[in-house]
Amino acid sequence: MQGSVKDEKKFNKLITVVSVIIPIVVAILFGVKLPNVEPLSFLPPIYAAINGLTAVLLLVAVWAIKKGNQKLHQNLMTTNIALSLLFLIMYIAYHMTSDSTSYGGEGAIKYVYYFILITHIVLSIALIPLVLRTYAKAYLKKFEDHRALAKYTFPVWLYVAVTGVVVYLMISPYYVY
């Protein structure tokens, strides 16, 4: 049975609130430095790997649904949401305990890096409501709506996951450990 319009409105209100609160809280916490706490400088390669794993699992999830394996697809997408939450926690923890690293490349590559970084950040913020709305459509068994929204959510999520790895690889030589 499909979820009701009332259920969807509740989800949409919650999704809107979460989609606004998360970027605000991240921005606030990004400016907080925990005194007397050992820097968590080991985290960037871990959360870059989480981005890489997310990209792979997104591709496998699309393959699974195209093969008709709805349960595997659902499990993989739930895992991807959990991985994204884990990434966010690690990202905040790193920035609360460590100074930001400046990109040290020069010339055209510097502009490439900043283009990738800025699009990654902007799209990661836009991705929050996209993922949550797409997931809610499936949860409410509105599969046609889910499929239509997933056509936008998937490429954005894949871009964010892949560029997360690219950003890490480009800035990693400049980390101070």
Q: Write out pLDDT tens, residues 20-60.
A: 999 999 999 988 999 889 999 999 999 999 999 999 999 99
**Cβ–Cβ under 8 Å, residues 87 and 117:** no
pLDDT of residue 17: 97
Mark out the alpha helices in the chain (DSSP H runs).
5-30, 43-66, 70-97, 108-139, 143-171
Q: Write out pLDDT tens, residues 65-124.
A: 999 999 999 999 999 999 999 999 999 999 999 988 899 999 999 999 999 999 999 999
Task: Return d(Cα 160, Cα 10) in angstroms, integer.
Answer: 27
Q: What one-character DSSP code corresponds to residue 98? A: S
When the pLDDT of each residue in the chain is averaged and rounded to a whole number, the result is 95
Task: Return d(Cα 66, Cα 58) in angstroms, integer.
Answer: 12
In angstroms, the Cα distances linking 40 to 34, 95, 155, 169 are 11, 8, 31, 18
Task: Return d(Cα 147, Cα 22) in angstroms, integer.
Answer: 25
When pLDDT is cut at 50, 70 and 90, the band that residue 1 belongs to is: low
DSSP three-state, residue 68: coil
pLDDT at 136 over 90: yes
pLDDT of residue 7: 86
Identify the structural domains of the chain with CATH numbers, from first to last: 5-29+41-174 (1.20.120)
